[in-house]
Amino acid sequence: MPSPRPNPWDAAFLAVSLARYDLAELIEPDRHFAWLDDLATLGVTVTEGVPRDRSGLTAVADLIGIMESNNYGIDWDIVSTADPFNQVDSDLPLRVHSDLPYRRLPPGFQVLLAAEASAEGGETLLVDGYRLSARIQEDDPDAWATLTTVDRAFSYIRPEQRYIGGGPIVGLDAEGAPDVIRHAPDLVLPVRDGDGAAADRALEIFVSTAASAELEFRIRLEPGQALTVNNHRVLHGRGPVDLGTGERRLLGCYIGSDEFASARRVLERDLGS
């Protein structure tokens, strides 16, 4: 059975269609398979009743496959603080983005588990990159052509790490449909060759369209809730955090797209689908 086709969504659609599961029920193969299918169609699920530590993060990740090591390690903490090393660990808002766009192939899926969420604010922002791309294709064909053909480079520079790479902001599959979205406006580098003005215009349109209230879905993750997103498709961000009211700590990891496909095939075999 082929994987179901993506079902692009806007904020209003996801508000009534977001799939929520309890971790305990996902031990059942049919529920596990349904969870994977919801990830395939919508690119996002919420899993509740998850232990608020690394064991819980691992339990959700294992529903897809083996955690993927990267420049952040195998898994990591995101702790909002008033004296952060970078903006991710701050109390400031984050524009929606995809993760690790500077890699040859960014991670396929990300799990974010709320370990502490007593601080006010810090809502997670989600935008369907496929729905966003379709809107730009319809409204501005010139921007669409640029977004799908002009490579943009992104960078992650640390004392012991220098990752530089990328591709088109909207990568297409063999049928010409959106496939891998690379969007990190705070990491993108200037265009070195070609029409930089056209590339920057297309990027501005992508950023402004992504910020549309019609497309941007907001969800507050409570302790013990894990958000799983397709990092090739769903852009994510964060609202400001009020550290004067409490704490905010997320645990995160990545899993590859090949692991997702393998998990679904195994369950398909076991269920006789």
Query: Model confidence over 2-57: pLDDT tens digits?
Result: 778 999 999 999 999 999 999 999 999 999 999 999 999 999 999 999 999 999 99
**Residues sharing a CB contact under 8 Å with residue 224, sequence separation 6 or more, in sequence order:** 48, 49, 50, 51, 52, 56, 114
pLDDT band, residue 243 (cuts 50/70/90)? confident
The domains of the chain are located at: 1-273
Query: Model confidence over 167-221: pLDDT tens digits?
Result: 999 999 999 999 999 999 999 999 987 779 999 999 999 999 999 999 999 999 9
Name the pairing type of β-strands 19-22 and 44-48. Answer: parallel
The pTM score is: 0.95
Query: Model confidence over 127-156: pLDDT tens digits?
Result: 999 999 999 999 999 999 999 999 999 999
pLDDT score of 185:
95
pLDDT score of 126:
98
**In whole angstroms, what is the distance from residue 27 CA to residue 4 CA?**
22
pLDDT surpassing 60 at residue 85: no
Please compute the mean of the pLDDT values over residues 67-88 and round it to a whole number.
81
The superfamily (CATH) of domain 1-273 is: Clavaminate synthase-like (3.60.130.10)
